[in-house]
Copies of this chain bind each other. A is one copy, B any other.
């Protein structure tokens, strides 16, 4: 099934949360450290406890790549645990000259068979094209990120009066010939989200920044539901997977997911 259709299906049954598997050996419950493979065991229990009520899992590649070969083994084992109707996102924020981006796209979309990836647009159109050539995938391109440093470049005003992130939005709509572009927009930037819904149009949105980074879920979904037509994913990583550091961590993660789902459904029009 193509990635956009998977997203629409998930949203249609009320699933909007993307669980970020930023799994860090230093943060997982200590009782797992004696397991043969603590990271995969942690992910397995999180996935088992949440898979029926999530829209997506976002795998933060840095947390796997940092262990080299063993890390990639964990990545491969984790992907296998995710049911096929749940969206998988390779969160790597890639973007490079064409022949290099082609290798990245092959890696994410063929070798690992992810549904989506996150991309950095700074190097321009030809740096993203190898990803956009996969018409059945969904490419979430950075527009306005949730971190403090987003002000350094993304919020700079251009000569023609638009901000850089608005210019990025205009470019993405221009590039979206195969309807396989989406955007990354931080939950810490709700004023900007509200003011730019007309530029976002119906581009699917991946929204990080809820929880540890300070974004408010209720305010966020009110804006998105009022605009009616949006497909979106709200990413929560640390706020779900590290909700508890005890043997009940997976149960507590599922409870927090339910809590977040309830906040969302209470605000749905």
Give residues in A with beta carbon < 8 Å to B. Answer: 22, 60, 62-63, 65-69, 72-73, 76, 93-101, 103-104, 106-107, 111-112, 120-128, 142, 145-154, 156-159, 161, 164, 167-168, 171, 208, 213
Would you call A149 and B127 a contact (CB within 8 A)? Answer: yes
B93 pairs with A95, CB closer than 8 A: yes
CB distance from A98 to the nearest CB of B (A): 7
Contact yes or no, B112 A124, CB < 8 A: no
- If A97-B145, A124-B149 are given as contacts, then 14 extra A-B residue pairs at C-beta distance below 8 Å, sorted by A number, are A60-B103, A62-B94, A63-B103, A65-B104, A67-B111, A69-B72, A97-B208, A122-B122, A122-B142, A123-B147, A123-B149, A153-B164, A156-B158, A156-B164
How many copies of this protein are present in the complex?
2
A147 with B127: in contact, given A67-B111, A69-B69, A171-B152 (CB under 8 Å)?
Answer: yes
Cβ of B107 and Cβ of A124 under 8 Å apart? no
Closest CB-CB distance, A16 to chain B, in whole Å? 21
Chain B nearest CB from A159 CB (Å) reads 4
The 3 closest A-B pairs by CB, nearest first: A124-B149, A124-B152, A62-B103
